[in-house]
Structures are given as C-alpha cells and as structure tokens.
Amino acid sequence: MIRSDVAVLGAGIIGVSAALHLQARGRSVVLVDRRGAGEETSYGNAGLIERASVVPYAFPRSVLDLLRYALNRQVDVRYHWAFLPRVAPWLFQYWRHSSPARLAEAARAMLPLIERCVDEHRPLMEQAGISHLARETGWVAAYRTARGLKEGAAEAVSAAAHALRCTVLDPAQLRGLEPHLAEGLAGAVHWQDPVSVADPGAVTKGYADLFLRRGGRFVTADARTLQPADGGWTLRGEDGPVAARDAVVALGPWSTDVIRPLGYRIPLAVKRGYHIHYTAQGNAVLHRPVLDAERGFVLTPMARGIRLTTGVEMGPRDAAPTPVQLDAAETLARTLFPLADRVEDRPWLGARPCLPDMRPVIGPALRHQGLWFAFGHAHHGFTLGPVTGRLIAEMVTGGDTVVDPSPYRADRF
C-alpha cells in the first residue's frame, strides 16, 4: 500500500500546483491521475496567465444578444439543440448571476486571485527551469469595426481602476505591433500585464517534474474509486491501494464523478472548446495572443504552430467532437492572419469546468473530514492554478491564507 499525508486527485494545473504547495509545507503527497500531467484541460487552452481579466465571462443579458445566440449561428458560442433541456436550469442560474449587481460581486470575489496569478506562476516557473516558455508581451484584442473598438476602449478606461496597463491602438499602431495581421482592422487594445506561454501543457508537466524531483510520487489510478477509510481516504491504484489522511479533488470537469457518490451536489457544468495548430504563410509571424474580439476566437503563437482556440460549445461533456464551430472560426481566422496548413489531422477537444456564479470551489467538504475541493475555474484554470494550489495547501495545513477563502466555499450552493 502507498501511504501519504495527502492524495491530490487530478494532475492538471490546479492539482499539480496544489501538490507542489503541499509538498513545500512539509506534507508527503501522492499525485493521482489516469493520464500524465497536463494532458487534459490544462493542455488545450490559449496559454494565457490572464492578469487583465478582472470581470468574469458573463451570460448575455441584452435581448438583442439573446436573439442572436438563439439562432445558434455565432462563432463564439454554439450549443447542441438536444442538450438544451438538460442544461437549461444551469444556464438560468448563470443568467441570474450575470445581473450587474451579481456580476460585480463575482468580480470582487475573483479579484484577489486574479491579482496574484502572475506573481504565483513566476517562482514556480523559475524553480522548474521553464521560464523560457513565458512571454512578457501581453495580448491584443483586435476589433474589426469602429463600434467594437469604442467598446474596447471603454473597457480599457475602466481597467485603470485596477492599475492595469493597456493601450488603445489605431490601425497603424496595431500593424507596428503585429505587422502580419490583416489590413482593414479598426484598431485594438493591447493588454500588457498578462503573460503568455508557448506550451501550457509543457508548463504543467514542468511543474509536475519539479514535484517529482522534490520527492513527490505520481500514481496512475481511477479517482472514482476514492472512499473514506479509518482516519482518511483510500483509492485503488494500478500498483495497489493508495491511502492518505487528506484528499484534494482537483479533477476539473470530472470532479463531480468523484464527489457525487459521496453525497455532494455542486452545480458544475462544462463549456467545451476546441483548438488546432497551423503553420503560417510565408514569413508571417504572430508575436502574442490575438483575440478577435467581435468574433470570439483566439490565435496564439505556440511551440507547435499558431493555435486557434474556439469560444464556447454547450454540449455533453463526453459527446463526440462536432467540427462546426472550429470550421467557422477557421474561416474567419484566415481573414485575420495568413494561416497555412493544419498541423494535426484532428482538433483537440476539452471541457472547461464552470459554476453558475463564475467562481471556483476551493475549500473543505462539509460532511467528510479531510476531503477538499479545488475545481470549477471556468476559463481561468491555467491562470489560477498556482494561486489556487497555494490557497488550498494553506487551508489543508492550517496556516494563514493568501486570500480570504470564504467566496469559494463549497456550501454556498
């Protein structure tokens, strides 16, 4: 039997970060996953440590927006018709929490985590020896219309209240920053505080390697076998049972598979998303992530090529891929940047774990001693991995916490 102080379930960015911080606080830790580190949701994002995202992604509130999305022809959001009845109660709660007052409450709740995201990533990157993967170039929100640019400029003005650095660019300034973007754009906003990485999966693997070099242990196991035992928790690993006093559930979109049999009903849903890589035509280069702000997709320079990352697809977590959204985004992306051939034969599909009040669950389970939750980070799992890992480790070990954890408590539902 493998014994440790803590079993961390999930080797994505949240789980690996939690394992590192627990280890740094003197706990023996076993990291548990069915696959290798950083091979699920943490692999497929846009590679942003998104310091500038101080307001969560809200549900559309205007009638015009709702009518547009109801037609199911938008590039940034698609849904499976047959799935709507199942997800409708969750979407209604999401809509309720997107009212101006509740959205402001969610923003206040998330701000302490967002403010620390870059500062918590940096030391881990340095210790893991992967700082070369980070780019201090920010990201660009590009606008095709003057109306869109005006709205983006208004966001830039409001960002000053959070001491964020950003610059509104006219077309000439934008081409000076990203000379291979298409002509005819109205302008852009350059958000300078965020950091991007050339390979988010490699960052997570780098953190996991650091954990192993420091004496941690990785176990391949099915987290759904987790059960309470005398004085702690057990689960079945490929090489035998694993026992720990504490268990941290950091399984992203699969977290409910583990906690539901234990009696917890936390309203976790998923926003599916796709990515695929492209070569660039000729000598075209992209220097930083670029969001097509009015179409809802991101182009990011990655180690494998230019990664096109889609918006949201509402569908069953485990349903087969549907190419409609990605194909539509690719058509528009080719009008933004000179993409050439696809690098892969098939796109990657992942699921962002989301809660209707737009904040994660971080903290203790209420009915089981030694059970802890760290999931539901929606679009910001990669951004918030290290600060979440620090916070949950501080809670497990009983120390002072880097932020007030009460907004993320599990019993708020």
**Distance, CA of 43 to CA of 41 (rounded, Å):** 5
CA distance 225 to 205: 25
- Tell me, what DSSP letter sits at residue 59? P
Separation between Cα atoms, residue 71 and residue 60, nearest integer Å:
14
Q: How far from chain centre, in Å, is Cα 21?
A: 19
State the pLDDT at residue 165. 94
3-state secondary structure of 332: helix
- Residue 387 burial by Cβ neighbours in a 10 Å radius (0-12, 13-18, 19+): buried
For the chain, which domains are there? 2-43+201-267+357-412 (3.50.50.60), 72-99+134-196+269-354 (3.30.9.10)
Residue 144, pLDDT score: 97
Looking at residue 41, what DSSP letter applies? G
**Tens digit of each residue's pLDDT (9 = 90 or more) over 326-380:** 999 999 999 999 999 999 999 999 999 999 999 999 999 999 999 999 999 999 9
Please report the pLDDT score of residue 319 as a whole number. 96
d(CA 46, CA 171): 24
Give per-residue pLDDT as tens, 159-185.
Answer: 888 889 999 999 999 999 999 999 999
Which DSSP string do the residues of 112-176 spell out, in sequence order?
HHHHTHHHHHHHHHHHHT-GGGEE---EEEEESSHHHHHHHHHHHHHHGGGT--EEEE-HHHHHH
For 22, the token pair is 């627990």
pTM above 0.85, yes or no: yes
Q: What integer pLDDT is reported at residue 64 of this predicted model?
A: 87
**What is the Cα–Cα distance from 228 to 369, expressed in whole angstroms?**
9
Do 372 and 232 touch, CB atoms closer than 8 A?
A: no
Tell me the DSSP string of 355-380.
-TTSS-EEEE-SSSTTEEEEE--GGG
Ranges under pLDDT 70 in the chain: none
Query: Which DSSP string do the residues of 255-280 spell out, in sequence order?
Result: HHHHHGGGT-----EEEEEEEEEEEE
Paired tokens of 8: 């961390």
Distance CA 350, CA 264 (A): 24
User: Tokens 């936390």, residue?
Assistant: 266
Q: Is 318 helix (H, G, I), strand (E, B) or coil?
A: coil
Q: Phi and psi dihedrals of 140, rounded to 5?
A: -120, 130
Q: Can you give the pLDDT at residue 150? A: 96
CA distance 160 to 166: 8
What's the confidence (pLDDT) of residue 256? 97
Burial of 161 (0-12, 13-18, 19+ CB in 10 A): exposed
